[in-house]
Structure 1
Amino acid sequence: MSLVAVGILGLIALLAIIMLGVPIAAAMAAVGVIGTLMMSPGASVFSLFGTATVQALSSQDLIVIPLFILMGGFAIVAGLSSEIYRLAHAWIGHLKGGLALTTIAACAAFGAICGSSVATTATMVQVALPEMRRRGYSDALIAGSIAGGGTLGSLIPPSVIMVVYAILTQQNVLDLFRAAIIPGLVAVLLYFIAVRIFLLRNPGDGIPMPRAPWSERFAALGYARLTLAVAVVMLGGIYSGIFTVNEGAAVGVALVFATCLIRQRLTRANFADTLRRAAANIAMIYLILIGAEIYKSFLTLTGLPAATVAWVGGLDLPPIAIVAVVIVLYLALGCVFDAMAAMILTMPFVFPLVVGQLGYDPVWWGIMNVMIIEIGMITPPVGINLFVLAGMRPDLKLREIYRGITPFILVDLLRIVIFLLFPGLMLVFV
């Protein structure tokens, strides 16, 4: 059996194991070890565990991940999400579908502090859903705005998944954050349009509220001053070059933690719970990266990634058509696997193809990758944001969730097309 055939069998086995419910980190490590033993029976494969573990734990770049996760956890304790929602509600809540627009704006703002799509979605279920229901919004519009807006947690910097991409591909994290500015703004605008599309088809939904007086708007602005200060200091310091990304993340954690103390929101119970949740998420990401390193070593030995690149490069297709095919495959994969699993599984094949063979900018592809993964997070049947929404509120029917999310998926596809045809738009600030 050829080495490439062993690589193909290993890939099929990995997908099958994950489909059976085995955690992705364990699946990748097992396939990597067994595959390496098949090719080299006398190889000291278990040394791969030590090498990959030391590499992950000693990486300076990875420090930013636990910091961002901690910051998101303490931001929830500090009640920053409620402040952001109140601020957005005061300024745009009077528009048709204003609470849906408010939810999307709040998701974007909270994503700039939290860095996680799942955490943003889960938080907005608690903050936005009760208010929207009280105002008579349909379950479909509620579900669409929360699940769709929640994906902005992955796109609006800082983003944990961008950090993982940067580490896997050895890119500059700050370049990725800068490249995400315009796509993030475009995403918010298109999601506003998605709400309008939904309301055109359901004109009785999204009844506007009375316009808030200017005194109330400025009161909401003053109430959210600590939240705004955290975002301005952290992101302003990172983008201006005053802080490195790691330093900015550390400053963000300190500011959010101080906000918890100032508001007397921190108790022994929620402090311990925040640390436990953060530790679980951090451990999961580190284990995935360790398993991915072992699996990547196996794939490199088989020569399958290089063979894939050579085969695709031999096709008589223009580069943009090949990238379009890759995007379609990603969308299909996103319906089955979660975001990080889809990115890590495909990285050994896709990155050398898109960047090495076709010559596309690695920063551009990183943001495209995140945007494609976002769509997978809200695409039935296994969109993780949809699972979070349905799990937290079992009274939401899946039929209504799918109906509400459809306009958001459509505008997401439009956004992919825009940045595929005009890649330079994304790199303006890089």
Structure 2
Amino acid sequence: MDPFVAGIVSLFVIISLVVLGVRVAYAAGITGLFGLVLLIGSRKARDGGVLDWIDAGWSAGAGLAGTLAHSEVSHYSLSVLPMFILIGFLAYYAGLTQGAFRCARAWLGWLPGGLAVATVFATAGFAAVSGASTATAAVFSRVAIPEMLKYGYDPRLAAGVVAAGGTLASLIPPSAILVIYAIIVEESVGSLLLAGFIPGAVSAIVYAAIIVIRCKISPDLGRPVAGLNWGERINSLPGMMPIVGVIAIILGGIYTGWMTPTETGAVGAFIVFCMALARRLATGQGMTRTDFRDAMMETSKLTVMIFTIIWSILIFVRFLGFTGLTTAFADWIVHLDVAPVVVVILILCVYIVLGMFMDGIGMLLLTLPVVHPAVLALGYDPIWFGIIVVKMVEIGLVTPPIGLNCFVVNGVRPDIPLEQVFKGIWPFVVADIITVAVLIAFPGIVLYLPHLMLANVAG
């Protein structure tokens, strides 16, 4: 069996399985396992048939796949994932969202489409303690959409801004998907997390600008909130302090080098828990014992799901490494007679298409083993490319037919039809494309904080 041909065939097999509805973890694991078995077996039983190859290669192939669960998934860097996931669930059950939204409303409600603008920055703030896009969309579907509809906002704008705002959790630390990218490509988790902060803020600003421009042109989409005063603004600030505190701990700990990303996650989770406990003791509101148990259970379930996907994809990645397909693809990309930026744009277009049919984690795990070496061969920074790719994952979270965040918003607010939710996200997709163009043109926006961190550590 020719290894290169086997690699090409395996890509078609796994894509076909995913299109047919097989979960990416199972599709990748099964394809990778049988690929390893057949490849090893074909070398041991050169003159035999497929059944002979399976018989000859099963022990070694299955053994190799089995050892990956410990040798790769037990890395210390992966321990950051459950910590960041726990922060998100604790923040959700602690009710930190209401204070963030009230503060954003008080300070930004005077703008055209002010409540939608407030929703963008409130979701950005909550994203900095949640790290989960769907959780952010679900929470603000309950908090922000009723307020916007109460003030007569267009339901498409109200639903669209919540779905799009939720995607900011993929970019703003503590982002689980940035951690997964760092692990796949073996880059610094701390550098990736810091790199996502400024692009996340830029994304929020571009979203807000799109809203203001649209509502200025068509005031009926969303009008300013009247009657806001400075007293209300000042009084709203304490509601944002818990989120600001967690952001400062996560970014400050990583930037100064005082704590590893895992340690910042653990400290952040403990502080959010203490905030929730203090609120419960002081007001009788917030996280109950049942909520805490649910937060721990949901964290465990999501962590197991992510680790299962990682293990399965690693089996497939190990098989691809044996085929030599990734090296051949990188060599082919380097020798293309086009500008490197054209290659990057074509790769991003592929991500847009894949994002319509696959979840973000599966998409990264499936494509990066092939794409990442090629991008490095073109001379691009892997940290910069990681942020660009995650922006494409954000677009996939809101584009049909999958558009997971849109389904979440519709699930929480069934009174807003799914078609209306999808109609509401397109201006934000345009905003994301604008942001990606800016980040491609000015890579320093992405690399500024990571370079500062390296200089600080070196100094």
TM-score (norm 2): 0.90
State yes or no: 1:233 paired with 2:233: no
State yes or no: 1:101 paired with 2:121: no
User: For 2:353, which of 322, 332, 338 is the aligned residue?
Assistant: 332
- The aligned residue for residue 13 of structure 1 is 13
- The aligned residue for residue 412 of structure 1 is 432
1:337-352 to 2 correspondences below 5 Å: 337-352=358-373
When residues 230 and 424 of structure 1 are mapped into structure 2, their CA distance, relative to the original with a 3 A threshold, is closer
State yes or no: 1:135 paired with 2:156: no
State yes or no: 1:121 paired with 2:137: yes
For residues 155-179 of structure 1, what are the alpha-carbon distances to aligned partners after superposition, in whole Å with 9 as ceiling and x for unaligned? 1111100100111111111111222
Q: Residues of 1 paired with 2:334 and 2:244: CA distance?
A: 48
Instruction: Say whether the 8 Å CA contact 1:336–1:381 is kept in structure 2.
Output: yes
State yes or no: 1:187 paired with 2:203: yes
Q: Residues of 2 paired with 1:5 and 1:347: CA distance?
A: 20
User: For 2:287, which of 255, 263, 266 is the aligned residue?
Assistant: 266
For residues 243-290 of structure 1, what are the alpha-carbon distances to aligned partners after superposition, in whole Å with 9 as ceiling and x for unaligned? 221111111000011112112233232222212211111001101111
- The aligned residue for residue 395 of structure 1 is 415
**Please, which runs of 5 or more residues in structure 1 have no aligned partner?**
none
Secondary structure of 2:144's match?
A: helix
Q: Residues of 1 paired with 2:192 and 2:156: CA distance?
A: 33
The alpha-carbon deviation at position 142 of structure 1 amounts to 0.6
Instruction: Say whether the 8 Å CA contact 2:126–2:243 is kept in structure 1.
Output: no
The alpha-carbon deviation at position 201 of structure 1 amounts to 5.1
Q: Residues of 2 paired with 1:32 and 1:158: CA distance?
A: 31
The alpha-carbon deviation at position 112 of structure 1 amounts to 0.6
- More displaced stretch, 95-104 vs 23-32: 23-32
Q: Residues of 2 paired with 1:57 and 1:141: CA distance?
A: 41
Instruction: Say whether the 8 Å CA contact 2:112–2:216 is kept in structure 1.
Output: no
Aligned residues: CA RMSD? 1.5
Amino acid at match of 2:302: N
Secondary structure of 1:429's match?
A: helix
Q: Residues of 1 paired with 2:82 and 2:162: CA distance?
A: 25
State yes or no: 1:80 paired with 2:96: yes
Amino acid at match of 1:9: V
Amino acid at match of 1:252: G
- The aligned residue for residue 292 of structure 1 is 313
Secondary structure of 2:61's match?
A: coil
TM-score (norm 1): 0.96
User: For 1:149, which of 165, 175, 180 is the aligned residue?
Assistant: 165
The alpha-carbon deviation at position 378 of structure 1 amounts to 1.3
Amino acid at match of 1:373: V
The alpha-carbon deviation at position 373 of structure 1 amounts to 1.1
Q: Residues of 1 paired with 2:167 and 2:103: CA distance?
A: 20
- More displaced stretch, 208-217 vs 145-154: 208-217
Q: Residues of 2 paired with 1:157 and 1:275: CA distance?
A: 21
State yes or no: 1:253 paired with 2:269: yes
The alpha-carbon deviation at position 16 of structure 1 amounts to 1.6
- The aligned residue for residue 192 of structure 2 is 176
Q: Residues of 1 paired with 2:72 and 2:223: CA distance?
A: 51
User: For 2:299, which of 257, 262, 278 is the aligned residue?
Assistant: 278
When residues 234 and 361 of structure 1 are mapped into structure 2, their CA distance, relative to the original with a 3 A threshold, is closer
- The aligned residue for residue 222 of structure 2 is 206
Secondary structure of 1:151's match?
A: helix
Q: Residues of 2 paired with 1:349 and 1:399: CA distance?
A: 35
For residues 182-239 of structure 1, what are the alpha-carbon distances to aligned partners after superposition, in whole Å with 9 as ceiling and x for unaligned? 2122111110122124324532121111242222111111244333323323332332
Q: Residues of 2 paired with 1:82 and 1:100: CA distance?
A: 15
Instruction: Say whether the 8 Å CA contact 1:198–1:407 is kept in structure 2.
Output: no
Amino acid at match of 1:398: L
Amino acid at match of 1:374: E
Instruction: Say whether the 8 Å CA contact 1:56–1:62 is kept in structure 2.
Output: no
Q: Residues of 2 paired with 1:18 and 1:175: CA distance?
A: 32
Amino acid at match of 1:241: G
Secondary structure of 2:352's match?
A: helix
When residues 194 and 275 of structure 1 are mapped into structure 2, their CA distance, relative to the original with a 3 A threshold, is same
- The aligned residue for residue 160 of structure 1 is 176
Q: Residues of 2 paired with 1:200 and 1:6: CA distance?
A: 56
State yes or no: 1:312 paired with 2:328: no
Instruction: Say whether the 8 Å CA contact 2:169–2:175 is kept in structure 1.
Output: yes
For residues 374-399 of structure 1, what are the alpha-carbon distances to aligned partners after superposition, in whole Å with 9 as ceiling and x for unaligned? 11111122121112112222222233
- The structure that has the greater radius of gyration is 2
Q: Residues of 2 paired with 1:302 and 1:230: CA distance?
A: 45
Instruction: Say whether the 8 Å CA contact 2:407–2:418 is kept in structure 1.
Output: no
Q: Residues of 2 paired with 1:16 and 1:392: CA distance?
A: 32
Q: Residues of 2 paired with 1:57 and 1:322: CA distance?
A: 32
Q: Residues of 1 paired with 2:255 and 2:174: CA distance?
A: 11
- The aligned residue for residue 324 of structure 2 is 303
Identity %, equivalent residues = 39
